[in-house]
Amino acid sequence: MHGPDIRWYVILAALLFSTGALGVMLRRSPLVILLSVEIMLNSANLLLIAFSRLHGREDGQIFAISVMAVAASEVVVGLGLIVAMGRRGVELDVDKLRTLRG
Amino acid sequence: MADFLVWVVWFGAAFACLSSALAVVSFRNPFYSALALIGNLASLAVLFLLLSGEFVAAGQVLVYGGAVMVMFLFVIAYLGDRSDDSPWSGGPTWQIVGAVLAGGAILAEVVVVVGLEAGGFLGHARRVDRGFGSPEAIGRLFLTDHLLAFEVTSIVLLVAAVGGVVLGSHARTFETPGEHDARA
């Protein structure tokens, strides 16, 4: 394998994952939270593919493709919920959606 | 020489990746955040290519950069301009401090694990032949060893499509005319 070895990829994936986690925790707009979840899923994908290259087997790439499909489904349902909220005139702010809070 | 070029491409892609991820988190307007995420996905596809995952890189650009992000941009455009505050504006609150601490904890955990070499498992990469990660190899694996994963993925996509249709069509029936007038 030319270039950086696996540790560089692991550290990059860790940085990306914590950036996405920061976005989920800090932002109030559900749209940006969904975008940050995409960053977290993609950092997991990067790790899967890096380790599949390390071990010389493609199973990690199969898993990464499945993660992509799950991410697409999650976006469909999440955006459907956000559009439903937008149509009903609910303010798009996760701090103000507290009906389910005990 | 080839090694040096790979390092240059790697650093370029990694820098683009991290800076666009930070841009997604910090832009006020969700539209700009979505555009920054497209850059993030594209630079990740470059990293996938360096790891000889050609098919996954192509799928990343087509599925994510194409389909998913177009859906995001349509929804953001449909909902109109609803920018909220930047998370960095207006001084540190307990929420921001807690979130940064939690994010730093995740980062520190991974770096410590990598520093301890993960029990010696992070050794040298194996040699792979030219067909590694090609559509042919991935397709063969999907239809032999991972047939169940393939079928489950298709069911997940079908369920998500049905869910999207249900969520999209029910929102209209909630609105009675009186309710609409009262809000307007």
The per-residue pLDDT string of chain A (102 residues; one tens digit each, 9 = 90 and over) reads: 677 888 888 889 999 999 999 888 888 888 999 999 999 999 999 999 998 988 888 899 999 999 999 999 999 999 998 888 888 877 777 777 777 665
A89 chain-B contacts, CB cut-off 8 A: 183
Q: Which of residues 35-94 of A touch B (CB under 8 A)?
A: 35-36, 38-39, 42, 45-46, 49-50, 52-56, 58-59, 61-66, 68-77, 79-84, 86-89, 92-93
Interface check for B55 against chain A (CB to CB < 8 A): the answer is: yes
pLDDT of res. B184? 45
> CA-CA distance, B10 to A42, in Å (whole number)?
17
| ipTM tops the 0.85 cut | yes
Nearest CB among B123, B127, B161 relative to A76 is that of B161
Is there a contact between B34 and A35 if contact means CB atoms under 8 Å apart? Answer: yes
Q: Tell me which chain B residue has its CA closest to the CA of residue A58.
A: B133
Q: pLDDT (tens digit, 9 = 90+) per residue, B47-105?
A: 999 988 899 999 999 988 888 899 899 998 888 766 666 666 556 677 788 888 888 88
Residue B146 sits at φ, ψ, to 5 deg, of -115, 40
Radius of gyration from C-alpha coordinates of chain A: 17
* Number of other CB atoms surrounding residue B28 within 10 Å: 16
Q: Which tokens belong to A23?
A: 């976005």
A39 Cβ partners below 8 Å, 6+ apart? A16, A17, A19, A20, A23, B21, B24, B37, B40
Q: Does A96 touch chain B (CB under 8 A)?
A: no
Residues of A in contact with B157 (CB under 8 A): 69, 72-73
Strands (E), B20-126: none
Its pTM stands at 0.85
- CA B112, CA B120: separation in Å to the nearest integer? 14
Q: Is A33 on the interface with B (CB under 8 A)?
A: no
Contacts of B18 in chain A (CB under 8 A): 12, 15-16, 19
How far is it, in rounded angstroms, from Cα A31 to Cα B99? 18
pLDDT tens-place string over residues B107-146: 888 778 777 766 566 667 777 777 788 888 888 988 998 9
Burial class (CB in 10 A: 0-12, 13-18, 19+), B36: buried
Q: Determine the residue among B9, B17, B49, B121 to mutate to test chain A binding: the one whose Cβ has the most chain A Cβ atoms within 10 Å.
A: B17
pLDDT in tens, B50-66: 988 899 999 999 988 88
Q: What are phi and psi of B73, to 5 degrees?
A: -65, -35
Chain A contact for B60, CB < 8 A? Answer: yes
Phi, psi of B106 (to 5 degrees): -60, -45
Contacts of A30 in chain B (CB under 8 A): none
| Partner-chain contact A27 B87, CB within 8 Å | yes
